[in-house]
Amino acid sequence: MEVYSKSDIGMVRKSNQDDVNFKVIAEDICWAVVCDGMGGANGGDIASKTAVNVITKSLTENLHENVGQDIIEDVIKNAIYEANNQIYEVSKEKKELSGMGTTVVLAMVCRGMLHIAHVGDSRAYITSEKGIQQVTQDHSIVQELINTGEITKEEASTHPRKNIITRVLGIGSEINVDYNSFELQSDEKIILCTDGLTNDLSDEQIYNIFKENEVINTAERLVNAAKEKGGNDNITVAVIVQ
């Protein structure tokens, strides 16, 4: 297993409120997490870093090379629940951080199985020789409009409410976490990213960068491509390779 990551402030923002971390546990087990914070002068920065730190600590304590597939859902969900609680408690204690929150997308690959948990509009994709597939569904206003048929996916990219998310870590004592698992094929790779990437690059453009570059360079190349398109937000990418 190999993981490559890159986080960048972009071309417009004054600070980077994204965060990312990963760990390779064994030759066939690893995890990666990407967060996109929001709220207040420093709130987003603190929220995303808190989430990544809490999740890292929880996974480090509860995962090992002999972990069973049957407990992974509970382990990664509980790590996210812990992060939600920590952010919420800090936001209650410090008035200047009230309302801060963060998205999260967490992927774990264990012996050929991909486990994904997420909250918000940070995404996970699977890419292979066959193409690219988004395997998370955004928790956002425009995604709800897509689901009800009111707008198309193409219309969503320019919709005035496209940045409004409907689910986020840290704004309440409880959070609903979406989870899915997939059996991976040998040539499939996983991409985790914040909306700083997907707002500037289409799925097709992301896929073309994978086809045209060595995998070791893809995270950095994706970030640079988003910056070339304007870099209007922080941009964070993690790539998992079996």
pLDDT digits 0-9 by tens, 73-126: 999 999 999 999 999 999 999 989 999 999 999 999 999 999 999 999 999 999
CA distance 157 to 176: 25
Tokens, residue 189: 């790779």
Report the distance separating Cα 175 and Cα 228, nearest Å. 36
CATH of the domain at 109: 3.60.40.10
**DSSP H/E element including 141:** helix 141-147
Answering whether pTM is above 0.85, one says: yes
**Cβ neighbours of residue 110 closer than 8 Å, sequence gap 6 or more:** 28, 29, 67, 69, 72
Name 108's bridge partners. 31, 115
Q: Which residue stretches of 39-165 are H helix?
A: 43-62, 69-93, 141-147, 153-156
Q: Is residue 109 part of a domain?
A: yes
Instruction: State residue 148's pLDDT score.
Output: 86
Residue 138 lies in a domain: no
Asked, for residue 139, whether it belongs to a domain, the answer is: no
Q: Is residue 159 part of a domain?
A: no
- pLDDT tens digit sequence for 176-190: 999 999 999 999 999
Tokens 């087990």 correspond to what residue?
A: 29
- pLDDT band per the 50, 70, 90 thresholds, residue 156: confident
Average pLDDT over residues 137-150: 86
Q: Phi first, then psi: what are they for 92, rounded to 5°?
A: -75, -35
Is 151 inside any structural domain?
Answer: no
Residue from 144, 142, 135, 148 nearest 163 by CA: 142
In this model, does residue 128 exceed pLDDT 70? yes
**Strand blocks (E) in 39-142:** 101-102, 104-110, 113-119, 123-128, 131-134
Number of domains in the chain: 1
Residue 22 domain flag: yes
Q: What is the pLDDT of residue 197?
A: 97
pLDDT over 90 percentage in the chain? 86
Q: Find the domain containing 54 and state its range.
A: 2-131+167-241
Would you say residue 194 has pLDDT above 90? Answer: yes
Residue type, 241: V
Nearest to 236 by CA among 204, 197, 202: 197
Nearest to 219 by CA among 231, 206, 230: 206
Q: Which amino acid is at 150?
A: E
> Average pLDDT of 188-205?
96
Residue 150 pLDDT greater than 90, yes or no:
no
pLDDT of 92 reads 93
Q: What pLDDT score does 41 carry?
A: 61
Residue 220 lies in a domain: yes
Q: Is residue 143 part of a domain?
A: no
Q: Which residue has the higher pLDDT, 40 or 2?
A: 2
